[in-house]
Structure 1
């Protein structure tokens, strides 16, 4: 083989063509080696003394599914009786219930292998031992990858782990690695092989999954700390995410063997792009950090920005999520909250004062009207009592009514402002009707002037001569 390759290289004057011929020859050798191992495996399985192992394996599979069908519904009913358990325990129990056939198969096949190795030759249970190792490895990988919350990433890690464990137990890792390494794309002096791509995906998936798990765990601890304000909690969580994900990305690339010195050129290009095309994005990012630092708004605050009124659902790196009373969720850029005029109804406290204007007829006693208005408003549940009890004052004498202002306080602006105003108006209506207090409305008198006129003229409401 060496002499043949040397002769081929001597006959080829182009180094690139020689490298391609070597790669093609290596690929053919690897494929033939895998083919020979596959034939040997099939030949071994076809031997008479291994036929009973296949029958035992088939019987254990059928028995595992039968036990899963019998115990699965009962196990699920038992799960429903468990109350107060953490969610992660329920998720793992649900995983066990879904893979109960595999659990029974692992138990049965390892028991069978142990018994057969005690009563007969170890070679008589060789294939059963391989199947037992594969089943146990698949079950362990399924349980471990359950820690990853992202469904797509969890599936990729699970299937990659199953394939790698299967190749390892079958002693095919070296040939498979060489075959994947021979499938490469060359871009100048850079050679990207299929093995490098798969390794990068696996390593980055593992490191990012670990970073996500650590971030969620630490974020939950930060949010449970009552001594940290909500805005500082969000800032700490954002900084923690940036650091952990950045470290996970660097570690994953270093494990794969990626040269990070090339990132210097990329960082320069990114800087130019930030200066021209991403100015708004950078402005929003910086504004978000400023908002978190100065604690001007925080999750749960009720704000008004233009015609948008609602409470802050979350603070993002680029925008703030504001949910209105009608269920709409507005994503307001952070820059607008810094440069615009924002009304924070619950910045220093949750108390909000509301004003209502109304009028009554001149024949009604103003002292009685004020007392009835305050009493009717105080009976509404959301209206606060002392020391922020409702008050009512006369603000003027109108053309047809005595004008009043009714002021009251609430401490739950997230419950809405229009609905509480409507409830107060309805309470005033009922109270005034019960006590005989009238609410006047503009009235116009139309007179027909006929003396000395050729024809009567009708003066409309609002005519200056009326």
Structure 2
């Protein structure tokens, strides 16, 4: 049953009197001195152990789990030494005088052992923030249990004075703490399961990259929703009581979260229609590159120069997207160039076709083509087209062909036209004074 405010006040008064009586006892200061001495010895022992143990070769003969725990013990050597010293001091004083005179030593020994066990258990968690949160929370529960205040604290957190009633939902600090702890555990297990399923799906050669990403997202989202439902049910929250918040959530989505929802739905559409997929070479506006990842809100396009463009999924659905590898990776390369009128256009086309056909990345079963496109003011204009098997490095291929074409023109005496401007002055030459005045 939850405690009422009078019981809480009485409990606080009783606890204060007990602490006052304990502090005024000379045995308290003896125990406090032993605790300080044990802490100093533990700190010195930790430094000595770490300086003498080579962690790269330590416990190499043990199985991997035992090796992992052995290394955690070395890193927690100060806690282990402190716990051993407190247990030894507690046993000594327990048999030498009244047991109550070594109570503080027993509390310190239990807290040190609890912290050591928590460090061993949480060492399998990779997330540093989760490790700290779980360690501190578990140690706080252990400390309250050791001093015998766990149940009163739980009653205080679950009391009517600290509760909030929203519709048919009663929220207390204890319910929120339980919900947070269960959500952390459930989401952690969900992440492990999702990573396992993702590794299995990505290894399947029968699924396209788009289907793989779609399946991973659907499974991850489904497991997350299931974890939240289980956590809410475990703390006694009736899901029907949350219906009062559905209207507020709908308004929030309609006003402030519409872009996020639009990007999420657009991501599902992109994965379902396979218009783009990881590995495609795309051009979206002024951004070009290969799609390196497809996330819930955006896609990542690697430009090839170290930059990555994060483009919202909605832009891919509503804007024009050039997918160079949608159905076929073969890419047509077009090289535009010109010559003067002294050149033989048939010889120019022949040289251009031979150079393009000799390019290392040119497709052999699709012959190049060169045509004369225009008799321009400065000279003749040509268009050379040829196919390569992959659009990656298309500009480099074009540059190599143009450099080779330039060498061939120099060898054959073919000149590339350049703009020439002539200024004719009618009516005779200008006076010298006028020329100087104009130039100034």
**TM-score, normalised by the number of residues in structure 2:** 0.76
How far residue 374 of structure 1 moved from its aligned partner, in angstroms, is 4.7
The match for 1:13 is none
In the alignment, the residues of structure 2 paired with residue 176 and residue 388 of structure 1 have an alpha-carbon distance, to the nearest angstrom, of 81
Instruction: For residue 46 of structure 1, give the secondary structure of its aligned residue in structure 2.
Output: helix
Judged with a 3 Å threshold, the aligned counterparts in structure 2 of structure 1 residues 242 and 139 are, in CA distance, closer, same or farther, namely: same
How many Å apart are 1:104 and its aligned residue? 5.7
Report the 3-state secondary structure (helix = DSSP H, G, I; strand = E; otherwise coil) of the residue aligned with 1:413: coil
Q: Is the 8 A contact 2:263 2:298 kept in 1?
A: yes
1:343 alignment partner, one of 302, 311, 322: 322
Structure 1-normalised TM-score?
0.73
Cα separation, 1, equivalents of 2:111 and 2:255: 55
Structure 2 gaps of 5+ residues are 431-440
SS in structure 2 of the partner of residue 408 of structure 1:
strand
Per the alignment, residue 106 of structure 1 pairs with 80
Please say if 1:24 is aligned against 2:5.
yes
- CA offset at residue 345 of structure 1? 0.5
Distance 2:324 2:113 in 1: 59
- Give the equivalent residue in structure 1 for 2:233: 254
Does residue 387 in structure 1 map to residue 365 in structure 2? Answer: yes
**1:398-450 deviation line (CA, Å, top 9, x unaligned):** 245443322233444354x444433433333244334433212344566666x
Aligned to 2:382: 404
Q: Deviations over 1:59-83 (max 9, x none)?
A: 64134322344146x32x559xx9x
Alpha-carbon shift at residue 357 of structure 1 (Å): 1.0
What is the aligned partner in structure 1 of residue 213 from structure 2?
A: 234
Q: Could you say what secondary structure the match of 2:158 adopts?
A: helix
How far apart, CA to CA, are the structure 1 residues paired with 2:359 and 2:126? Answer: 46
Task: Kindly provide the CA deviation profile for residues 346-404 of structure 1, in whole angstroms up to 9, marking residues without a partner as x.
Answer: 112332221011122344445554454355556666x3342356x24122352454433
What is the aligned counterpart of 1:320 among 286, 289, 299? 299
Task: For residue 106 of structure 1, report the CA deviation from its aligned partner.
Answer: 2.1
Equivalent of residue 288 in structure 1, options 248, 267, 285: 267
Task: Please report how far the alpha carbon of residue 235 of structure 1 lies from its aligned counterpart in structure 2 after TM superposition.
Answer: 0.8
Q: In 2 relative to 1, CA 410–108 (structure 1 residues): closer, same or farther, beyond 3 Å?
A: farther
**Counterpart in the other structure of 1:3:** none
1:182-225 deviations in whole A, cap 9, x for unaligned? 46144577654333332222222222222223223322332233
> Which deviates further from its counterpart, 198-207 or 180-189?
180-189
Q: 1:64, 1:101 within 8 Å by CA — same for their partners in 2?
A: no
Distance across 2 between alignment mates of 1:149 and 1:48: 41
- The answer on 1:303 being equivalent to 2:282 is yes
How far residue 313 of structure 1 moved from its aligned partner, in angstroms, is: 3.0
Shift in alpha-carbon separation, 1:442–1:54, aligned structure 2, 3 A = closer
Structure 2 Cα separation of the partners of residues 29 and 411 of structure 1: 84
Verify the 8 A CA contact 1:394 1:402 in the aligned structure 2: no
Structure 1: stretches of 5+ with no match in the other structure: 1-18, 450-454, 459-466
Task: Report whether the alignment pairs 1:203 with 2:182.
Answer: yes
Q: Counterparts in 2 of 1:140-155, with a 5 A limit?
A: 140-146=117-123, 148-155=125-132
Pair 57,115 (structure 1): closer, same or farther in 2 beyond 3 Å: closer
CA distance in 2, matches of 1:53, 1:361: 100
Q: Is the 8 A contact 2:214 2:268 kept in 1?
A: yes
In the alignment, structure 1 residue 427 sits paired with structure 2 residue 427: no
Aligned to 1:184: 162
User: Once superposed, what is the RMSD of the aligned Cα atoms?
Assistant: 4.4
Shift of 1:343: 1.4
Q: Specify the alignment match of 2:146 in structure 1.
A: 169
Say if 1:412 and 1:135 are closer, same or farther in 2 by CA, change over 3 A.
farther
Residues 361 and 439, structure 1, Cα contact 8 Å, conserved in 2:
yes
Between the aligned partners of 1:186 and 1:253, the Cα distance in structure 2 is 17
Q: Distance in 2 between matches of 1:140 and 1:371?
A: 81
Partner Cα separation in structure 1 for residue 331 and residue 26 of structure 2: 81
SS in 1 for 2:364: coil
Give a deviation string over 1:122-174, Cα, whole Å, max 9, x none: 97998766555433432343344455555444432221112112222343311
Aligned equivalent of 1:270: 249
Q: Following the alignment from structure 1 to structure 2, what is the Cα–Cα distance between the partners of residues 331 and 160?
A: 38
- Counterpart pick for 1:159 among 125, 136, 149: 136
Whole-Å separation in 2 of the counterparts to 1:225 and 1:380: 37
For the structure 1 residues 112 and 271, does the alpha-carbon distance in structure 2 shift closer, same or farther, using more than 3 Å as the test? Answer: closer
Instruction: Indicate the SS of the match to 2:334.
Output: strand
Matched, 1:46 2:27: yes
CA distance in 2, matches of 1:157, 1:244: 22
2:4 counterpart SS class: helix
Q: Which residue is 1:34 aligned to?
A: 15
